[in-house]
Structure 1
Protein backbone atom coordinates (compact mmCIF):
# COMPACT_ATOMS: atom_id res chain seq x y z
CA UNK A 1 0.00 0.00 0.00
CA UNK A 2 2.88 2.39 0.76
CA UNK A 3 4.45 1.84 -2.64
CA UNK A 4 1.12 2.39 -4.40
CA UNK A 5 0.71 5.71 -2.59
CA UNK A 6 4.30 6.64 -3.42
CA UNK A 7 3.53 6.00 -7.09
CA UNK A 8 0.57 8.36 -7.02
CA UNK A 9 2.54 10.97 -5.09
CA UNK A 10 5.47 10.85 -7.50
CA UNK A 11 3.10 11.35 -10.44
CA UNK A 12 1.82 14.56 -8.87
CA UNK A 13 5.37 15.73 -8.18
CA UNK A 14 6.35 15.01 -11.79
CA UNK A 15 3.51 17.20 -13.05
CA UNK A 16 4.56 20.07 -10.78
CA UNK A 17 8.23 19.78 -11.74
CA UNK A 18 7.25 19.87 -15.41
CA UNK A 19 5.22 23.05 -14.90
CA UNK A 20 8.02 24.71 -12.89
CA UNK A 21 10.54 23.74 -15.57
CA UNK A 22 8.42 25.35 -18.27
CA UNK A 23 8.06 28.62 -16.35
CA UNK A 24 11.76 28.76 -15.46
CA UNK A 25 12.70 28.12 -19.10
CA UNK A 26 10.56 31.09 -20.18
CA UNK A 27 12.18 33.34 -17.58
CA UNK A 28 15.68 32.18 -18.55
CA UNK A 29 14.99 32.77 -22.24
CA UNK A 30 13.29 36.14 -21.74
CA UNK A 31 16.03 37.46 -19.45
CA UNK A 32 18.99 35.79 -21.14
CA UNK A 33 20.67 39.17 -21.55
CA UNK A 34 19.14 41.11 -18.64
CA UNK A 35 22.14 42.24 -16.58
CA UNK A 36 22.03 42.16 -12.80
CA UNK A 37 24.53 41.96 -10.01
CA UNK A 38 25.80 38.60 -8.83
CA UNK A 39 26.27 38.42 -5.09
CA UNK A 40 28.86 36.69 -2.93
CA UNK A 41 28.53 36.57 0.87
CA UNK A 42 25.51 38.89 0.43
CA UNK A 43 27.82 41.52 -1.10
CA UNK A 44 27.82 42.76 -4.68
CA UNK A 45 30.33 40.67 -6.64
CA UNK A 46 30.38 40.64 -10.46
CA UNK A 47 27.62 41.03 -13.05
CA UNK A 48 25.53 38.10 -14.27
CA UNK A 49 22.18 38.01 -16.04
CA UNK A 50 18.83 37.19 -14.52
CA UNK A 51 18.44 34.52 -17.18
CA UNK A 52 21.65 32.95 -15.90
CA UNK A 53 20.25 32.85 -12.36
CA UNK A 54 17.04 31.20 -13.58
CA UNK A 55 18.89 28.76 -15.85
CA UNK A 56 20.96 27.59 -12.89
CA UNK A 57 17.81 26.73 -10.95
CA UNK A 58 16.26 25.22 -14.06
CA UNK A 59 19.23 22.89 -14.48
CA UNK A 60 18.61 21.58 -10.94
CA UNK A 61 14.91 21.05 -11.65
CA UNK A 62 15.85 19.06 -14.74
CA UNK A 63 18.18 16.89 -12.70
CA UNK A 64 15.33 16.20 -10.30
CA UNK A 65 13.16 15.14 -13.22
CA UNK A 66 15.93 12.79 -14.35
CA UNK A 67 16.31 11.43 -10.81
CA UNK A 68 12.60 10.76 -10.66
CA UNK A 69 12.71 8.71 -13.87
CA UNK A 70 15.75 6.82 -12.59
CA UNK A 71 14.39 5.96 -9.15
CA UNK A 72 10.98 4.72 -10.26
CA UNK A 73 12.13 1.25 -11.38
CA UNK A 74 13.91 0.76 -8.05
CA UNK A 75 11.20 2.19 -5.81
CA UNK A 76 8.01 0.97 -7.46
CA UNK A 77 8.58 -2.60 -6.36
CA UNK A 78 6.01 -4.61 -4.47
CA UNK A 79 6.41 -6.68 -1.31
CA UNK A 80 4.52 -9.93 -0.67
CA UNK A 81 6.63 -12.55 1.03
CA UNK A 82 5.23 -13.68 4.39
CA UNK A 83 6.41 -13.21 7.95
CA UNK A 84 10.17 -13.40 7.38
CA UNK A 85 10.10 -12.88 3.61
CA UNK A 86 10.66 -16.49 2.51
CA UNK A 87 7.18 -17.20 1.08
CA UNK A 88 7.21 -20.40 3.14
CA UNK A 89 3.48 -20.32 3.84
CA UNK A 90 2.57 -20.42 0.14
CA UNK A 91 4.63 -23.46 -0.70
CA UNK A 92 4.51 -24.58 -4.34
CA UNK A 93 4.00 -21.80 -6.89
CA UNK A 94 4.83 -19.07 -4.37
CA UNK A 95 6.90 -16.99 -6.77
CA UNK A 96 4.28 -17.36 -9.49
CA UNK A 97 1.61 -16.13 -7.05
CA UNK A 98 3.80 -13.20 -6.09
CA UNK A 99 4.42 -12.41 -9.76
CA UNK A 100 0.68 -12.47 -10.50
CA UNK A 101 -0.03 -10.04 -7.67
CA UNK A 102 2.70 -7.68 -8.82
CA UNK A 103 1.37 -7.78 -12.35
CA UNK A 104 -2.11 -6.95 -11.10
CA UNK A 105 -0.75 -3.99 -9.13
CA UNK A 106 1.61 -2.95 -11.96
CA UNK A 107 4.62 -3.11 -9.64
CA UNK A 108 8.01 -4.74 -10.12
CA UNK A 109 8.53 -8.17 -8.57
CA UNK A 110 11.39 -8.14 -6.05
CA UNK A 111 14.23 -10.61 -6.34
CA UNK A 112 14.15 -11.00 -2.57
CA UNK A 113 12.05 -9.67 0.29
CA UNK A 114 12.82 -6.20 1.60
CA UNK A 115 10.84 -6.07 4.87
CA UNK A 116 13.76 -4.54 6.75
CA UNK A 117 15.86 -3.41 3.78
CA UNK A 118 14.34 0.07 3.39
CA UNK A 119 16.79 1.83 1.09
CA UNK A 120 14.13 2.39 -1.57
CA UNK A 121 11.83 4.21 0.85
CA UNK A 122 14.75 6.25 2.13
CA UNK A 123 15.67 7.05 -1.48
CA UNK A 124 12.24 8.58 -2.02
CA UNK A 125 12.71 10.66 1.11
CA UNK A 126 16.12 11.86 -0.06
CA UNK A 127 14.62 12.75 -3.43
CA UNK A 128 11.96 14.86 -1.71
CA UNK A 129 14.69 16.52 0.31
CA UNK A 130 16.64 17.39 -2.84
CA UNK A 131 13.56 18.79 -4.59
CA UNK A 132 12.55 20.97 -1.66
CA UNK A 133 16.17 22.01 -1.19
CA UNK A 134 16.18 23.51 -4.70
CA UNK A 135 12.80 25.12 -4.09
CA UNK A 136 14.18 26.54 -0.86
CA UNK A 137 17.11 28.05 -2.77
CA UNK A 138 14.62 29.67 -5.16
CA UNK A 139 12.63 31.01 -2.22
CA UNK A 140 15.72 32.37 -0.49
CA UNK A 141 16.81 34.34 -3.56
CA UNK A 142 13.30 35.68 -4.20
CA UNK A 143 13.00 36.82 -0.58
CA UNK A 144 16.31 38.65 -0.74
CA UNK A 145 15.56 40.20 -4.11
CA UNK A 146 12.16 41.40 -2.84
CA UNK A 147 13.71 43.44 -0.05
CA UNK A 148 12.72 47.09 -0.27
CA UNK A 149 16.35 48.14 -0.68
CA UNK A 150 16.80 45.67 -3.57
CA UNK A 151 13.42 45.46 -5.34
CA UNK A 152 14.55 43.36 -8.31
CA UNK A 153 11.72 40.80 -8.38
CA UNK A 154 8.32 40.37 -6.77
CA UNK A 155 6.05 37.43 -6.19
CA UNK A 156 2.80 37.54 -8.20
CA UNK A 157 0.43 40.17 -6.86
CA UNK A 158 -2.94 39.23 -5.41
CA UNK A 159 -5.09 41.73 -3.57
CA UNK A 160 -4.42 41.52 0.15
CA UNK A 161 -1.93 38.67 -0.12
CA UNK A 162 1.36 39.31 1.60
CA UNK A 163 0.14 42.55 3.14
CA UNK A 164 0.51 43.50 6.78
CA UNK A 165 -2.35 43.97 9.24
CA UNK A 166 -0.79 47.25 10.40
CA UNK A 167 1.49 48.38 7.54
CA UNK A 168 -0.52 48.81 4.32
CA UNK A 169 2.56 49.45 2.17
CA UNK A 170 4.08 46.02 2.72
CA UNK A 171 4.27 43.27 0.13
CA UNK A 172 5.70 40.28 1.93
CA UNK A 173 7.24 37.26 0.11
CA UNK A 174 4.60 34.96 1.54
CA UNK A 175 5.00 32.08 -0.93
CA UNK A 176 8.74 32.07 -0.42
CA UNK A 177 8.23 31.97 3.34
CA UNK A 178 5.98 28.91 2.99
CA UNK A 179 8.47 27.18 0.67
CA UNK A 180 11.34 27.83 3.06
CA UNK A 181 9.38 26.45 6.01
CA UNK A 182 8.28 23.33 4.12
CA UNK A 183 11.82 22.64 2.92
CA UNK A 184 13.16 22.93 6.45
CA UNK A 185 10.72 20.37 7.86
CA UNK A 186 11.15 17.96 4.93
CA UNK A 187 14.87 17.84 5.71
CA UNK A 188 14.04 16.62 9.21
CA UNK A 189 11.76 13.92 7.82
CA UNK A 190 14.52 12.78 5.47
CA UNK A 191 16.75 12.24 8.49
CA UNK A 192 13.96 10.24 10.13
CA UNK A 193 13.55 8.06 7.03
CA UNK A 194 17.27 7.34 7.00
CA UNK A 195 17.00 6.35 10.66
CA UNK A 196 14.13 4.03 9.74
CA UNK A 197 16.58 1.98 7.66
CA UNK A 198 18.06 0.54 10.84
CA UNK A 199 15.53 -2.27 11.08
CA UNK A 200 16.33 -5.25 13.25
CA UNK A 201 16.52 -8.74 11.74
CA UNK A 202 13.66 -9.71 9.38
CA UNK A 203 10.82 -7.68 10.95
CA UNK A 204 11.69 -4.55 12.88
CA UNK A 205 10.53 -3.45 16.32
CA UNK A 206 9.94 0.25 15.75
CA UNK A 207 12.11 1.73 12.99
CA UNK A 208 9.56 0.72 10.34
CA UNK A 209 6.84 2.71 12.09
CA UNK A 210 8.90 5.89 11.68
CA UNK A 211 7.97 5.76 8.00
CA UNK A 212 4.27 5.93 8.83
CA UNK A 213 4.77 9.43 10.24
CA UNK A 214 7.70 10.80 8.26
CA UNK A 215 6.89 9.71 4.70
CA UNK A 216 3.32 11.10 4.42
CA UNK A 217 4.38 14.38 6.00
CA UNK A 218 7.35 14.69 3.66
CA UNK A 219 5.09 14.18 0.64
CA UNK A 220 2.50 16.67 1.87
CA UNK A 221 5.07 19.36 2.61
CA UNK A 222 6.82 18.78 -0.71
CA UNK A 223 3.47 19.13 -2.50
CA UNK A 224 2.87 22.40 -0.67
CA UNK A 225 6.30 23.77 -1.57
CA UNK A 226 5.86 22.75 -5.21
CA UNK A 227 2.46 24.40 -5.41
CA UNK A 228 3.83 27.67 -4.05
CA UNK A 229 6.88 27.50 -6.33
CA UNK A 230 4.68 26.94 -9.37
CA UNK A 231 2.81 30.14 -8.58
CA UNK A 232 5.98 32.14 -7.96
CA UNK A 233 7.82 31.25 -11.17
CA UNK A 234 4.70 31.43 -13.35
CA UNK A 235 3.92 34.98 -12.30
CA UNK A 236 7.26 36.38 -11.12
CA UNK A 237 7.53 40.14 -11.71
CA UNK A 238 11.01 41.14 -12.85
CA UNK A 239 12.20 44.76 -12.61
CA UNK A 240 15.06 45.01 -15.12
CA UNK A 241 15.47 48.76 -14.52
CA UNK A 242 15.99 48.20 -10.81
CA UNK A 243 18.51 45.49 -11.60
CA UNK A 244 20.44 47.99 -13.71
CA UNK A 245 20.18 50.64 -11.00
CA UNK A 246 21.61 48.21 -8.46
CA UNK A 247 24.47 47.45 -10.83
CA UNK A 248 25.29 51.16 -10.88
CA UNK A 249 24.88 51.57 -7.14
CA UNK A 250 28.60 51.33 -6.34
CA UNK A 251 29.64 53.82 -9.05
CA UNK A 252 31.66 51.29 -10.98
CA UNK A 253 33.20 49.26 -8.16
CA UNK A 254 31.48 46.07 -9.37
CA UNK A 255 33.56 46.35 -12.53
CA UNK A 256 36.86 46.36 -10.63
CA UNK A 257 37.69 42.80 -11.65
CA UNK A 258 37.04 43.66 -15.29
CA UNK A 259 39.29 46.71 -14.97
CA UNK A 260 42.02 44.67 -13.28
CA UNK A 261 41.92 42.03 -16.02
CA UNK A 262 41.90 44.75 -18.68
CA UNK A 263 45.01 46.39 -17.20
CA UNK A 264 46.87 43.13 -16.51
CA UNK A 265 48.41 42.85 -20.01
CA UNK A 266 50.04 46.26 -19.52
CA UNK A 267 50.88 46.32 -15.82
CA UNK A 268 51.03 42.66 -14.85
CA UNK A 269 48.23 40.98 -12.93
CA UNK A 270 49.56 41.52 -9.43
CA UNK A 271 50.42 45.16 -9.97
CA UNK A 272 47.05 45.74 -11.68
CA UNK A 273 45.25 44.10 -8.75
CA UNK A 274 47.03 46.19 -6.13
CA UNK A 275 46.57 49.42 -8.05
CA UNK A 276 42.84 48.86 -8.67
CA UNK A 277 42.39 47.76 -5.06
CA UNK A 278 43.87 51.04 -3.81
CA UNK A 279 41.78 53.07 -6.24
CA UNK A 280 38.62 51.29 -5.11
CA UNK A 281 39.36 52.22 -1.50
CA UNK A 282 39.94 55.82 -2.58
CA UNK A 283 36.72 55.87 -4.63
CA UNK A 284 34.79 54.75 -1.56
CA UNK A 285 36.52 57.34 0.63
CA UNK A 286 35.84 60.18 -1.79
CA UNK A 287 32.43 58.86 -2.88
CA UNK A 288 33.42 59.25 -6.52
CA UNK A 289 33.01 57.04 -9.60
CA UNK A 290 35.83 54.55 -10.04
CA UNK A 291 36.13 55.63 -13.67
CA UNK A 292 37.19 59.15 -12.64
CA UNK A 293 39.99 57.92 -10.42
CA UNK A 294 41.19 55.49 -13.06
CA UNK A 295 41.27 58.29 -15.63
CA UNK A 296 43.36 60.44 -13.31
CA UNK A 297 46.04 57.82 -12.73
CA UNK A 298 49.07 58.33 -14.96
CA UNK A 299 50.23 54.72 -14.66
CA UNK A 300 46.91 53.66 -16.19
CA UNK A 301 46.31 56.37 -18.79
CA UNK A 302 49.78 55.69 -20.15
CA UNK A 303 48.30 52.50 -21.61
CA UNK A 304 44.51 52.90 -21.66
CA UNK A 305 42.43 55.97 -22.57
CA UNK A 306 39.17 57.06 -20.93
CA UNK A 307 37.05 55.56 -23.71
CA UNK A 308 38.52 52.13 -23.09
CA UNK A 309 38.22 52.59 -19.33
CA UNK A 310 34.53 53.50 -19.78
CA UNK A 311 33.99 50.21 -21.60
CA UNK A 312 35.79 48.30 -18.84
CA UNK A 313 33.68 50.01 -16.16
CA UNK A 314 30.37 49.13 -17.83
CA UNK A 315 29.01 46.06 -15.97
CA UNK A 316 27.05 44.92 -19.01
CA UNK A 317 30.36 44.33 -20.81
CA UNK A 318 31.51 41.85 -18.16
CA UNK A 319 28.85 39.17 -18.19
CA UNK A 320 31.23 36.38 -19.08
CA UNK A 321 29.49 33.39 -20.65
CA UNK A 322 26.19 34.00 -18.87
CA UNK A 323 24.19 34.00 -22.10
CA UNK A 324 26.04 31.02 -23.53
CA UNK A 325 25.33 28.99 -20.39
CA UNK A 326 21.65 29.90 -20.54
CA UNK A 327 21.58 28.63 -24.12
CA UNK A 328 23.34 25.42 -23.11
CA UNK A 329 20.73 24.66 -20.47
CA UNK A 330 17.83 25.43 -22.80
CA UNK A 331 19.41 23.47 -25.67
CA UNK A 332 19.86 20.38 -23.53
CA UNK A 333 16.22 20.50 -22.51
CA UNK A 334 15.16 20.96 -26.11
CA UNK A 335 17.42 18.16 -27.34
CA UNK A 336 16.00 15.80 -24.74
CA UNK A 337 12.51 16.84 -25.82
CA UNK A 338 11.41 17.42 -22.26
CA UNK A 339 10.82 21.16 -22.42
CA UNK A 340 7.02 21.75 -22.40
CA UNK A 341 5.49 23.95 -25.08
Structure 2
Protein backbone atom coordinates (compact mmCIF):
# COMPACT_ATOMS: atom_id res chain seq x y z
CA UNK A 1 0.00 0.00 0.00
CA UNK A 2 2.83 2.40 0.83
CA UNK A 3 4.47 1.74 -2.51
CA UNK A 4 1.20 2.30 -4.37
CA UNK A 5 0.86 5.65 -2.61
CA UNK A 6 4.46 6.52 -3.51
CA UNK A 7 3.84 5.74 -7.18
CA UNK A 8 0.68 7.87 -7.17
CA UNK A 9 2.59 10.76 -5.62
CA UNK A 10 5.41 10.39 -8.13
CA UNK A 11 2.93 10.46 -11.00
CA UNK A 12 1.42 13.69 -9.69
CA UNK A 13 4.87 15.24 -9.24
CA UNK A 14 5.62 14.47 -12.90
CA UNK A 15 2.25 15.72 -14.18
CA UNK A 16 3.56 19.15 -15.20
CA UNK A 17 4.27 20.84 -18.51
CA UNK A 18 6.13 23.95 -19.63
CA UNK A 19 5.81 26.15 -22.74
CA UNK A 20 7.17 29.45 -21.47
CA UNK A 21 10.04 30.15 -23.83
CA UNK A 22 13.78 29.66 -23.70
CA UNK A 23 14.22 31.03 -20.17
CA UNK A 24 10.71 30.69 -18.76
CA UNK A 25 9.56 34.30 -19.19
CA UNK A 26 6.97 33.84 -21.99
CA UNK A 27 8.93 36.33 -24.10
CA UNK A 28 7.62 35.03 -27.42
CA UNK A 29 4.59 32.95 -26.39
CA UNK A 30 1.38 33.75 -24.59
CA UNK A 31 0.81 31.90 -21.27
CA UNK A 32 -2.63 30.88 -22.58
CA UNK A 33 -0.91 28.63 -25.12
CA UNK A 34 0.87 26.79 -22.33
CA UNK A 35 -2.41 26.44 -20.43
CA UNK A 36 -4.21 25.09 -23.50
CA UNK A 37 -1.52 22.56 -24.42
CA UNK A 38 -1.11 21.32 -20.86
CA UNK A 39 -4.86 20.79 -20.49
CA UNK A 40 -4.92 18.77 -23.71
CA UNK A 41 -2.14 16.56 -22.33
CA UNK A 42 -3.72 16.26 -18.85
CA UNK A 43 -0.82 18.22 -17.39
CA UNK A 44 -0.59 21.27 -15.14
CA UNK A 45 1.53 24.29 -16.08
CA UNK A 46 4.55 24.48 -13.82
CA UNK A 47 4.53 27.61 -11.68
CA UNK A 48 8.10 28.69 -12.34
CA UNK A 49 10.52 27.30 -14.94
CA UNK A 50 13.77 28.17 -16.64
CA UNK A 51 14.49 26.54 -19.98
CA UNK A 52 13.34 23.31 -18.35
CA UNK A 53 11.20 22.02 -15.51
CA UNK A 54 13.42 21.60 -12.48
CA UNK A 55 14.86 18.10 -12.21
CA UNK A 56 13.85 17.47 -8.59
CA UNK A 57 10.56 16.27 -10.11
CA UNK A 58 12.39 13.61 -12.10
CA UNK A 59 14.62 12.77 -9.15
CA UNK A 60 11.56 12.08 -7.01
CA UNK A 61 10.18 9.76 -9.67
CA UNK A 62 13.46 7.88 -9.95
CA UNK A 63 13.87 7.59 -6.19
CA UNK A 64 10.33 6.26 -5.97
CA UNK A 65 11.06 3.63 -8.60
CA UNK A 66 14.18 2.69 -6.65
CA UNK A 67 12.27 2.37 -3.37
CA UNK A 68 9.56 0.22 -4.95
CA UNK A 69 12.17 -1.93 -6.65
CA UNK A 70 14.05 -2.27 -3.39
CA UNK A 71 10.87 -3.53 -1.73
CA UNK A 72 10.73 -6.29 -4.35
CA UNK A 73 14.44 -6.85 -3.75
CA UNK A 74 13.72 -7.33 -0.05
CA UNK A 75 11.10 -10.00 -0.77
CA UNK A 76 13.30 -11.76 -3.32
CA UNK A 77 16.31 -11.70 -1.00
CA UNK A 78 14.33 -13.32 1.81
CA UNK A 79 13.13 -16.05 -0.55
CA UNK A 80 16.71 -16.67 -1.69
CA UNK A 81 17.93 -16.99 1.89
CA UNK A 82 15.07 -19.31 2.85
CA UNK A 83 15.74 -21.45 -0.24
CA UNK A 84 19.29 -22.31 0.85
CA UNK A 85 19.76 -26.09 0.88
CA UNK A 86 20.34 -26.25 4.62
CA UNK A 87 17.22 -24.14 5.30
CA UNK A 88 14.71 -24.78 2.47
CA UNK A 89 11.69 -23.30 4.22
CA UNK A 90 10.34 -21.78 1.00
CA UNK A 91 11.26 -22.09 -2.65
CA UNK A 92 10.44 -20.18 -5.79
CA UNK A 93 8.54 -22.28 -8.37
CA UNK A 94 10.73 -24.58 -10.45
CA UNK A 95 9.13 -25.31 -13.81
CA UNK A 96 9.48 -28.33 -16.05
CA UNK A 97 12.48 -27.99 -18.34
CA UNK A 98 14.08 -25.29 -16.18
CA UNK A 99 17.83 -25.59 -15.59
CA UNK A 100 19.30 -24.68 -12.22
CA UNK A 101 22.93 -25.19 -13.24
CA UNK A 102 24.51 -26.21 -16.54
CA UNK A 103 27.14 -28.20 -14.62
CA UNK A 104 25.07 -29.64 -11.74
CA UNK A 105 21.69 -31.10 -12.76
CA UNK A 106 20.45 -31.30 -9.15
CA UNK A 107 20.49 -27.53 -8.62
CA UNK A 108 17.22 -25.60 -8.10
CA UNK A 109 18.54 -22.07 -7.91
CA UNK A 110 16.17 -19.11 -7.24
CA UNK A 111 17.17 -17.59 -10.55
CA UNK A 112 14.18 -15.27 -10.89
CA UNK A 113 14.64 -13.84 -7.41
CA UNK A 114 18.33 -13.36 -8.17
CA UNK A 115 17.37 -11.49 -11.34
CA UNK A 116 15.03 -9.21 -9.39
CA UNK A 117 17.78 -8.43 -6.87
CA UNK A 118 20.18 -7.57 -9.68
CA UNK A 119 17.74 -5.23 -11.41
CA UNK A 120 17.00 -3.46 -8.11
CA UNK A 121 20.65 -2.41 -8.01
CA UNK A 122 20.21 -0.72 -11.38
CA UNK A 123 17.15 1.16 -10.12
CA UNK A 124 19.11 2.44 -7.12
CA UNK A 125 22.06 3.43 -9.30
CA UNK A 126 19.76 5.26 -11.72
CA UNK A 127 18.18 7.15 -8.82
CA UNK A 128 21.62 8.47 -7.93
CA UNK A 129 22.07 9.67 -11.52
CA UNK A 130 18.73 11.49 -11.30
CA UNK A 131 19.87 13.24 -8.12
CA UNK A 132 23.06 14.31 -9.91
CA UNK A 133 20.85 15.84 -12.62
CA UNK A 134 19.23 18.32 -10.21
CA UNK A 135 22.09 20.86 -9.79
CA UNK A 136 22.60 22.05 -13.38
CA UNK A 137 24.96 24.84 -14.44
CA UNK A 138 23.31 28.28 -14.62
CA UNK A 139 19.79 26.78 -14.37
CA UNK A 140 20.21 24.52 -17.39
CA UNK A 141 23.12 22.85 -19.09
CA UNK A 142 22.37 19.83 -21.24
CA UNK A 143 24.21 17.19 -19.20
CA UNK A 144 20.98 15.82 -17.73
CA UNK A 145 19.42 15.04 -21.10
CA UNK A 146 21.70 12.20 -22.18
CA UNK A 147 21.43 10.55 -18.77
CA UNK A 148 17.63 10.81 -18.64
CA UNK A 149 17.27 9.20 -22.05
CA UNK A 150 18.83 6.10 -20.49
CA UNK A 151 17.77 6.02 -16.85
CA UNK A 152 14.05 6.85 -17.16
CA UNK A 153 13.10 4.22 -19.77
CA UNK A 154 15.48 1.68 -18.24
CA UNK A 155 14.07 2.08 -14.74
CA UNK A 156 10.40 2.13 -15.69
CA UNK A 157 10.77 -0.90 -17.96
CA UNK A 158 12.89 -2.76 -15.39
CA UNK A 159 10.40 -2.19 -12.56
CA UNK A 160 7.51 -3.32 -14.75
CA UNK A 161 9.47 -6.46 -15.61
CA UNK A 162 10.25 -7.08 -11.93
CA UNK A 163 6.56 -6.93 -11.05
CA UNK A 164 5.70 -9.39 -13.82
CA UNK A 165 8.34 -11.78 -12.48
CA UNK A 166 7.64 -11.59 -8.76
CA UNK A 167 3.83 -11.96 -8.93
CA UNK A 168 3.90 -15.62 -10.10
CA UNK A 169 6.60 -16.37 -7.53
CA UNK A 170 4.39 -15.14 -4.70
CA UNK A 171 1.29 -16.82 -6.17
CA UNK A 172 2.99 -20.23 -6.54
CA UNK A 173 5.58 -20.03 -3.76
CA UNK A 174 6.51 -23.48 -2.43
CA UNK A 175 6.31 -23.56 1.37
CA UNK A 176 7.71 -26.32 3.60
CA UNK A 177 6.24 -26.09 7.14
CA UNK A 178 8.12 -29.20 8.32
CA UNK A 179 11.43 -27.54 7.52
CA UNK A 180 10.31 -24.44 9.44
CA UNK A 181 9.67 -26.60 12.50
CA UNK A 182 13.04 -28.28 11.97
CA UNK A 183 14.74 -24.86 11.90
CA UNK A 184 13.12 -23.94 15.21
CA UNK A 185 14.16 -27.28 16.69
CA UNK A 186 17.81 -26.59 15.86
CA UNK A 187 17.88 -24.01 18.66
CA UNK A 188 17.05 -26.79 21.15
CA UNK A 189 14.48 -24.57 22.82
CA UNK A 190 16.50 -21.35 23.04
CA UNK A 191 13.80 -19.44 21.17
CA UNK A 192 11.73 -19.62 24.36
CA UNK A 193 14.33 -17.83 26.51
CA UNK A 194 12.44 -14.53 26.59
CA UNK A 195 9.28 -16.26 27.81
CA UNK A 196 11.19 -17.88 30.69
CA UNK A 197 12.82 -14.54 31.49
CA UNK A 198 9.42 -12.86 31.78
CA UNK A 199 8.07 -15.67 33.96
CA UNK A 200 10.96 -15.20 36.38
CA UNK A 201 10.24 -11.48 36.50
CA UNK A 202 6.60 -12.23 37.31
CA UNK A 203 7.88 -14.14 40.34
CA UNK A 204 9.47 -10.95 41.63
CA UNK A 205 13.03 -11.17 40.32
CA UNK A 206 14.66 -8.01 39.06
CA UNK A 207 15.17 -8.09 35.32
CA UNK A 208 18.97 -7.95 35.58
CA UNK A 209 19.12 -10.99 37.85
CA UNK A 210 16.56 -12.96 35.82
CA UNK A 211 18.45 -12.13 32.63
CA UNK A 212 21.74 -13.29 34.15
CA UNK A 213 20.20 -16.63 35.18
CA UNK A 214 18.60 -17.30 31.79
CA UNK A 215 21.67 -16.18 29.86
CA UNK A 216 23.88 -18.54 31.84
CA UNK A 217 21.53 -21.44 31.10
CA UNK A 218 21.38 -20.47 27.44
CA UNK A 219 25.17 -20.41 27.15
CA UNK A 220 25.26 -23.97 28.47
CA UNK A 221 22.98 -25.04 25.64
CA UNK A 222 25.25 -23.36 23.08
CA UNK A 223 28.32 -25.07 24.55
CA UNK A 224 26.77 -28.49 25.15
CA UNK A 225 24.35 -30.70 23.24
CA UNK A 226 21.68 -30.47 25.92
CA UNK A 227 18.17 -29.09 25.58
CA UNK A 228 17.27 -25.67 27.02
CA UNK A 229 14.32 -27.05 28.97
CA UNK A 230 16.56 -29.74 30.45
CA UNK A 231 19.13 -27.16 31.55
CA UNK A 232 16.43 -25.00 33.14
CA UNK A 233 14.97 -27.94 35.06
CA UNK A 234 18.30 -28.79 36.64
CA UNK A 235 19.28 -25.20 37.46
CA UNK A 236 18.73 -24.45 41.14
CA UNK A 237 18.11 -20.74 40.62
CA UNK A 238 15.39 -21.43 38.08
CA UNK A 239 13.79 -24.23 40.09
CA UNK A 240 13.71 -21.93 43.09
CA UNK A 241 11.08 -19.81 41.33
CA UNK A 242 9.52 -21.99 38.63
CA UNK A 243 7.94 -25.42 38.94
CA UNK A 244 8.51 -28.01 36.16
CA UNK A 245 4.95 -27.44 34.89
CA UNK A 246 5.58 -23.69 34.71
CA UNK A 247 8.77 -24.28 32.76
CA UNK A 248 6.90 -26.58 30.38
CA UNK A 249 4.29 -23.87 29.87
CA UNK A 250 6.97 -21.51 28.58
CA UNK A 251 7.69 -23.85 25.67
CA UNK A 252 4.31 -23.55 23.94
CA UNK A 253 4.77 -22.33 20.37
CA UNK A 254 1.09 -21.36 20.16
CA UNK A 255 1.75 -18.63 22.72
CA UNK A 256 3.84 -16.81 20.12
CA UNK A 257 1.27 -17.15 17.33
CA UNK A 258 -1.88 -16.34 19.29
CA UNK A 259 -2.24 -12.89 17.68
CA UNK A 260 -1.05 -13.81 14.19
CA UNK A 261 -4.57 -13.69 12.71
CA UNK A 262 -4.75 -10.01 13.64
CA UNK A 263 -1.46 -9.37 11.84
CA UNK A 264 -2.74 -11.17 8.75
CA UNK A 265 -5.96 -9.18 8.87
CA UNK A 266 -4.04 -5.89 8.97
CA UNK A 267 -2.13 -7.05 5.91
CA UNK A 268 -5.37 -7.84 4.10
CA UNK A 269 -4.85 -11.60 4.32
CA UNK A 270 -7.80 -13.74 5.36
TM-score (norm 2): 0.91
Where in structure 2 are the equivalents of 1:167-316 lying within 5 Å?
A: 167-266=104-203, 267-316=205-254
Q: Which residue of 1 aligns with 2:13?
A: 74
Aligned equivalent of 2:81, options 120, 128, 144: 144
State the 1:252 CA deviation.
Answer: 0.1
1:230/1:301 CA distance change after superposition, 3 Å: same
Residue of structure 1 in register with 2:22 after alignment = 83
Contact 2:99 2:105 survives alignment (8 Å): no
Alignment of 1:84-103 (within 5 A): 84-90=23-29, 94-103=30-39
Give the equivalent residue in structure 1 for 2:45: 109
Q: Say which structure, 1 or 2, has more relative contact order (CA 8 Å, 6+ apart).
A: 1
Q: Distance in 1 between matches of 2:99 and 2:55?
A: 41
Offset, 1:294: 0.9
Quote the Cα distance in structure 1 between the aligned partners of 2:257 and 2:209. Answer: 24
Aligned partner of residue 170 in structure 1, secondary structure = coil
Unaligned runs of 5+ in 2: none
How many angstroms apart in 1 are the aligned matches of 2:102 and 2:226? 42
Shift in alpha-carbon separation, 1:278–1:203, aligned structure 2, 3 A: closer
Structure of greater Rg: 2
The residue number in structure 2 matching 1:155 is: 92
Per-residue CA deviation, residues 10-54 of structure 1 (Å, 9 max, x unaligned), is: xxxxxxxxxxxxxxxxxxxxxxxxxxxxxxxxxxxxxxxxxxxxx
In 2, Cα distance between equivalents of 1:291 and 1:129: 46
Report the Cα offset of residue 97 of structure 1.
Answer: 1.3
Maintained 8 Å contact 2:18/2:53: no
TM-score between both structures, scaled by the size of structure 1: 0.73
Shift of 1:125: 0.2
Kindly state the Cα deviation for residue 116 of structure 1 after the two structures are TM-superposed. Answer: 5.2
3-state SS in 1 of match to 2:44: coil
- The 2-side partners of 1:320 and 1:140 are apart by 28
Distance 2:260 2:3 in 1: 23
What secondary structure is seen at the aligned counterpart in 2 of 1:151? coil
CA offset at residue 196 of structure 1?
0.8
Partner of 1:292, secondary structure, is: helix
After TM superposition, the structure 1 stretch with the greater mean CA deviation from structure 2, 302-311 or 230-239, is 302-311
Q: Greater shift after overlay, 317-326 or 230-239?
A: 317-326
Q: Is the 8 A contact 1:116 1:202 kept in 2?
A: no
Closer, same or farther: CA 319–271 of 1 in aligned 2, 3 Å: farther
Deviation (angstroms), 1:130 = 0.4
C-alpha deviation, 1:67, in angstroms: 1.5
1:48 maps to which residue? none
Aligned partners of 1:73 and 1:108 also within 8 Å: no
Indicate if the aligned counterparts of 1:156 and 1:236 stay in contact, CA closer than 8 A.
yes
| 1:318 is the counterpart of 2:256 | yes
> Deviations along 1:245-275, whole A, 9 cap, x unmatched?
2111111011112211121222321111111
Structure 1 runs not aligned, ≥5 long: 1-61, 335-341
Task: Provide the rounded CA distance (Å) in 1 between the counterparts of 2:259 and 2:207.
Answer: 22
| Residues 255 and 318, structure 1, Cα contact 8 Å, conserved in 2 | no
**Is the deviation greater in 181-190 or in 277-286?**
277-286
Deviations along 1:233-256, one digit per CA (max 9) or x if unpaired, are 121111122111211111101111
